[in-house]
Amino acid sequence: MTGFDLFHHTYWHPFAYFGFTHPLLAIQADLVLTTWFVLGLLLLFSLGGRYALNHPDGILYTAYTTIARNFIALVEQSWQGACPEPYFLIISTFFIFILTCNWLMLIGLEEPTSNYNTTLALALLSFFYIQKEAIKYHGVIPYLHEFFKTPLSISTFSWLKLPLIIIQYALNTLAAIALFPLELMSKLSSILSMSFRLFGNILAGSIVFSLWNSITHASLLSQLVALFIPVNIVILAFFGVFEGIIQAFVFTILTTTYLSLATTSQTAEHV
Protein backbone atom coordinates (compact mmCIF):
# COMPACT_ATOMS: atom_id res chain seq x y z
CA MET A 1 0.00 0.00 0.00
CA THR A 2 1.40 3.35 -1.00
CA GLY A 3 2.53 5.51 1.90
CA PHE A 4 1.89 2.80 4.49
CA ASP A 5 4.68 0.58 5.77
CA LEU A 6 4.27 -1.73 8.73
CA PHE A 7 7.94 -2.56 9.11
CA HIS A 8 10.86 -0.19 8.67
CA HIS A 9 14.07 -2.10 8.02
CA THR A 10 17.64 -0.90 7.75
CA TYR A 11 19.97 -2.74 5.40
CA TRP A 12 23.74 -2.96 5.28
CA HIS A 13 25.47 -3.33 1.92
CA PRO A 14 28.91 -4.73 2.78
CA PHE A 15 29.91 -5.11 -0.88
CA ALA A 16 28.71 -1.67 -2.04
CA TYR A 17 32.33 -0.45 -2.10
CA PHE A 18 33.02 -3.00 -4.85
CA GLY A 19 29.89 -2.03 -6.79
CA PHE A 20 27.72 -4.95 -5.68
CA THR A 21 24.39 -3.62 -4.41
CA HIS A 22 22.06 -6.47 -5.32
CA PRO A 23 19.32 -7.03 -2.68
CA LEU A 24 20.46 -10.63 -2.18
CA LEU A 25 23.81 -9.32 -0.92
CA ALA A 26 22.22 -6.91 1.55
CA ILE A 27 22.13 -7.67 5.27
CA GLN A 28 19.10 -6.67 7.32
CA ALA A 29 20.69 -4.74 10.15
CA ASP A 30 17.82 -4.90 12.64
CA LEU A 31 17.55 -8.68 12.19
CA VAL A 32 21.24 -9.13 13.01
CA LEU A 33 21.04 -6.80 16.01
CA THR A 34 17.90 -8.39 17.47
CA THR A 35 19.34 -11.88 16.98
CA TRP A 36 22.51 -10.93 18.85
CA PHE A 37 20.35 -9.29 21.49
CA VAL A 38 18.57 -12.62 21.96
CA LEU A 39 21.92 -14.40 22.19
CA GLY A 40 22.97 -11.89 24.85
CA LEU A 41 19.80 -12.61 26.83
CA LEU A 42 20.46 -16.34 26.58
CA LEU A 43 24.00 -15.78 27.82
CA LEU A 44 22.58 -14.02 30.87
CA PHE A 45 20.07 -16.86 31.25
CA SER A 46 22.93 -19.39 31.17
CA LEU A 47 24.95 -17.44 33.73
CA GLY A 48 21.84 -17.29 35.90
CA GLY A 49 21.55 -21.07 35.65
CA ARG A 50 25.18 -21.49 36.65
CA TYR A 51 24.60 -19.25 39.65
CA ALA A 52 21.42 -21.15 40.57
CA LEU A 53 23.18 -24.53 40.53
CA ASN A 54 25.75 -23.20 42.99
CA HIS A 55 22.98 -22.00 45.34
CA PRO A 56 20.55 -24.93 45.65
CA ASP A 57 18.54 -23.25 48.41
CA GLY A 58 17.43 -20.27 46.29
CA ILE A 59 14.31 -19.72 44.24
CA LEU A 60 16.35 -19.57 41.03
CA TYR A 61 17.49 -23.15 41.61
CA THR A 62 13.87 -24.29 41.84
CA ALA A 63 12.93 -22.39 38.67
CA TYR A 64 15.83 -23.69 36.59
CA THR A 65 15.49 -27.29 37.77
CA THR A 66 11.75 -27.21 37.05
CA ILE A 67 12.44 -26.09 33.48
CA ALA A 68 15.10 -28.78 33.07
CA ARG A 69 12.82 -31.50 34.47
CA ASN A 70 10.09 -30.59 31.98
CA PHE A 71 12.48 -30.94 29.05
CA ILE A 72 13.88 -34.18 30.47
CA ALA A 73 10.33 -35.56 30.76
CA LEU A 74 9.66 -34.60 27.13
CA VAL A 75 12.79 -36.38 25.93
CA GLU A 76 12.10 -39.44 28.10
CA GLN A 77 8.61 -39.80 26.63
CA SER A 78 10.02 -39.74 23.09
CA TRP A 79 12.92 -42.09 23.82
CA GLN A 80 10.98 -44.60 25.92
CA GLY A 81 12.31 -43.70 29.34
CA ALA A 82 15.86 -42.77 28.29
CA CYS A 83 17.16 -39.22 28.16
CA PRO A 84 20.10 -38.89 25.73
CA GLU A 85 22.00 -35.81 26.87
CA PRO A 86 22.83 -34.42 23.38
CA TYR A 87 19.16 -34.57 22.37
CA PHE A 88 18.03 -32.96 25.60
CA LEU A 89 20.47 -30.11 25.01
CA ILE A 90 19.54 -29.36 21.41
CA ILE A 91 15.79 -29.68 22.00
CA SER A 92 15.83 -27.38 25.02
CA THR A 93 18.06 -24.91 23.14
CA PHE A 94 15.64 -24.78 20.22
CA PHE A 95 12.70 -24.06 22.50
CA ILE A 96 14.39 -21.40 24.63
CA PHE A 97 15.93 -19.60 21.64
CA ILE A 98 12.69 -19.54 19.62
CA LEU A 99 10.61 -18.53 22.63
CA THR A 100 12.97 -15.66 23.42
CA CYS A 101 12.81 -14.49 19.80
CA ASN A 102 9.02 -14.67 19.81
CA TRP A 103 8.73 -12.69 23.03
CA LEU A 104 10.70 -9.69 21.77
CA MET A 105 7.35 -8.23 20.75
CA LEU A 106 6.63 -7.72 24.46
CA ILE A 107 9.41 -5.13 24.71
CA GLY A 108 8.65 -3.44 21.39
CA LEU A 109 11.25 -5.16 19.20
CA GLU A 110 10.57 -7.07 16.00
CA GLU A 111 10.94 -10.82 16.43
CA PRO A 112 13.79 -12.47 14.46
CA THR A 113 11.40 -15.37 13.83
CA SER A 114 9.14 -13.05 11.81
CA ASN A 115 11.92 -13.10 9.18
CA TYR A 116 12.05 -16.20 6.99
CA ASN A 117 15.86 -16.22 7.00
CA THR A 118 15.81 -17.05 10.72
CA THR A 119 13.15 -19.75 10.54
CA LEU A 120 14.78 -21.34 7.49
CA ALA A 121 18.14 -21.42 9.29
CA LEU A 122 16.50 -23.10 12.30
CA ALA A 123 14.72 -25.65 10.10
CA LEU A 124 17.94 -26.44 8.20
CA LEU A 125 19.84 -26.86 11.46
CA SER A 126 17.16 -29.22 12.75
CA PHE A 127 16.99 -31.17 9.47
CA PHE A 128 20.72 -31.73 9.02
CA TYR A 129 21.21 -32.66 12.67
CA ILE A 130 18.46 -35.27 12.37
CA GLN A 131 19.97 -36.68 9.17
CA LYS A 132 23.38 -36.87 10.84
CA GLU A 133 21.92 -38.79 13.77
CA ALA A 134 19.97 -41.08 11.42
CA ILE A 135 23.18 -41.98 9.57
CA LYS A 136 24.98 -42.47 12.89
CA TYR A 137 22.21 -44.76 14.18
CA HIS A 138 21.50 -46.83 11.04
CA GLY A 139 24.66 -46.57 8.98
CA VAL A 140 25.16 -45.02 5.56
CA ILE A 141 23.83 -47.88 3.40
CA PRO A 142 20.51 -48.42 5.26
CA TYR A 143 20.00 -44.66 5.37
CA LEU A 144 20.54 -44.27 1.62
CA HIS A 145 18.28 -47.25 1.01
CA GLU A 146 15.37 -45.14 2.30
CA PHE A 147 15.75 -42.93 -0.77
CA PHE A 148 15.51 -45.91 -3.14
CA LYS A 149 12.45 -47.97 -2.28
CA THR A 150 12.31 -51.53 -3.65
CA PRO A 151 8.71 -52.65 -3.17
CA LEU A 152 9.03 -56.14 -4.67
CA SER A 153 10.44 -58.92 -2.48
CA ILE A 154 13.09 -61.05 -4.18
CA SER A 155 12.39 -64.77 -4.35
CA THR A 156 14.78 -67.26 -2.83
CA PHE A 157 17.42 -67.97 -5.41
CA SER A 158 17.14 -71.08 -7.46
CA TRP A 159 18.06 -71.75 -11.06
CA LEU A 160 14.43 -72.51 -11.92
CA LYS A 161 13.35 -69.08 -10.62
CA LEU A 162 16.22 -67.20 -12.23
CA PRO A 163 14.09 -65.48 -14.93
CA LEU A 164 11.57 -64.36 -12.26
CA ILE A 165 14.38 -63.05 -10.04
CA ILE A 166 15.88 -61.07 -12.93
CA ILE A 167 12.48 -59.53 -13.68
CA GLN A 168 11.99 -58.64 -9.99
CA TYR A 169 15.43 -57.01 -9.81
CA ALA A 170 14.69 -55.01 -12.96
CA LEU A 171 11.30 -53.84 -11.64
CA ASN A 172 12.83 -52.95 -8.27
CA THR A 173 15.50 -50.90 -10.01
CA LEU A 174 12.90 -49.02 -12.06
CA ALA A 175 10.76 -48.47 -8.94
CA ALA A 176 13.75 -47.18 -6.96
CA ILE A 177 14.65 -44.70 -9.71
CA ALA A 178 11.03 -43.58 -10.05
CA LEU A 179 10.46 -43.21 -6.30
CA PHE A 180 13.73 -41.42 -5.54
CA PRO A 181 12.42 -37.88 -6.36
CA LEU A 182 9.32 -38.50 -4.23
CA GLU A 183 11.35 -39.78 -1.28
CA LEU A 184 13.75 -36.86 -1.56
CA MET A 185 10.88 -34.35 -1.69
CA SER A 186 9.16 -35.98 1.30
CA LYS A 187 12.28 -35.54 3.38
CA LEU A 188 13.00 -32.00 2.22
CA SER A 189 9.36 -30.99 2.73
CA SER A 190 9.92 -31.01 6.49
CA ILE A 191 12.24 -28.00 6.05
CA LEU A 192 9.53 -25.97 4.33
CA SER A 193 6.86 -27.17 6.74
CA MET A 194 8.76 -26.24 9.90
CA SER A 195 10.17 -22.96 8.62
CA PHE A 196 6.96 -21.64 7.03
CA ARG A 197 4.79 -22.64 10.00
CA LEU A 198 6.93 -20.73 12.46
CA PHE A 199 7.52 -17.79 10.10
CA GLY A 200 3.88 -17.45 9.06
CA ASN A 201 2.38 -17.51 12.53
CA ILE A 202 4.88 -15.09 14.07
CA LEU A 203 4.68 -12.73 11.08
CA ALA A 204 0.88 -12.76 11.28
CA GLY A 205 1.02 -11.76 14.93
CA SER A 206 3.48 -8.96 14.13
CA ILE A 207 1.24 -7.63 11.36
CA VAL A 208 -1.84 -7.65 13.60
CA PHE A 209 -0.01 -5.88 16.39
CA SER A 210 1.56 -3.34 14.00
CA LEU A 211 -1.82 -2.61 12.43
CA TRP A 212 -3.36 -2.06 15.85
CA ASN A 213 -0.55 0.30 16.83
CA SER A 214 -0.98 2.23 13.57
CA ILE A 215 -4.70 2.60 14.24
CA THR A 216 -4.32 3.65 17.88
CA HIS A 217 -1.63 6.24 17.06
CA ALA A 218 -3.59 7.79 14.21
CA SER A 219 -5.14 10.48 16.42
CA LEU A 220 -5.41 11.64 19.99
CA LEU A 221 -8.95 10.26 20.23
CA SER A 222 -7.86 6.78 19.15
CA GLN A 223 -5.05 6.87 21.73
CA LEU A 224 -7.52 7.75 24.46
CA VAL A 225 -9.87 4.96 23.36
CA ALA A 226 -6.99 2.46 23.34
CA LEU A 227 -5.99 3.66 26.81
CA PHE A 228 -9.36 2.77 28.34
CA ILE A 229 -10.10 -0.33 26.25
CA PRO A 230 -7.62 -3.12 27.15
CA VAL A 231 -7.29 -4.44 23.59
CA ASN A 232 -3.53 -3.94 23.73
CA ILE A 233 -3.30 -6.35 26.62
CA VAL A 234 -5.40 -8.96 24.81
CA ILE A 235 -3.33 -8.68 21.62
CA LEU A 236 -0.05 -8.88 23.54
CA ALA A 237 -1.29 -11.80 25.63
CA PHE A 238 -2.47 -13.80 22.61
CA PHE A 239 -0.01 -12.93 19.83
CA GLY A 240 2.92 -12.23 22.15
CA VAL A 241 2.85 -14.62 25.08
CA PHE A 242 0.49 -17.44 24.07
CA GLU A 243 1.35 -17.62 20.36
CA GLY A 244 5.06 -17.36 21.16
CA ILE A 245 4.88 -20.36 23.48
CA ILE A 246 2.76 -22.42 21.09
CA GLN A 247 5.00 -21.87 18.06
CA ALA A 248 8.19 -22.56 20.02
CA PHE A 249 6.61 -25.76 21.35
CA VAL A 250 5.38 -26.87 17.91
CA PHE A 251 8.83 -26.45 16.33
CA THR A 252 10.44 -28.24 19.27
CA ILE A 253 8.00 -31.14 19.33
CA LEU A 254 8.38 -31.66 15.56
CA THR A 255 12.16 -31.77 15.94
CA THR A 256 11.77 -34.19 18.85
CA THR A 257 9.43 -36.44 16.87
CA TYR A 258 11.63 -36.57 13.76
CA LEU A 259 14.73 -37.14 15.84
CA SER A 260 13.04 -39.88 17.86
CA LEU A 261 11.96 -41.67 14.69
CA ALA A 262 15.49 -41.38 13.33
CA THR A 263 17.17 -42.89 16.37
CA THR A 264 14.70 -45.42 17.77
CA SER A 265 13.00 -47.05 14.75
CA GLN A 266 14.41 -49.87 12.69
CA THR A 267 14.71 -47.66 9.64
CA ALA A 268 15.20 -43.95 9.03
CA GLU A 269 11.75 -43.73 7.49
CA HIS A 270 9.81 -40.49 7.86
CA VAL A 271 12.92 -38.63 9.05
In a domain, 209, yes or no: yes
Has residue 40 been placed in a domain? Answer: yes
What residues make up the domain containing 103? Answer: 11-264
C-alpha 135/C-alpha 124 separation (Å) is: 16
- Give the pLDDT means over successive 10-residue stretches in the chain (271 positions): 56 79 80 94 93 88 90 85 82 95 88 92 95 89 79 56 69 78 86 92 85 73 68 76 92 92 62 47
Question: For residue 271, what pLDDT is reported?
Answer: 47
pTM above 0.85, yes or no: no
| Residue 149, in any domain of the structure | yes
Report if residue 5 sits inside a domain.
no
Tell me the pLDDT tens digit for each residue of 258-267. 998 888 754 4
Is residue 4 a part of any domain in this protein? no
Query: Total domain count for the chain?
Result: 1
Position 271 in a domain: no
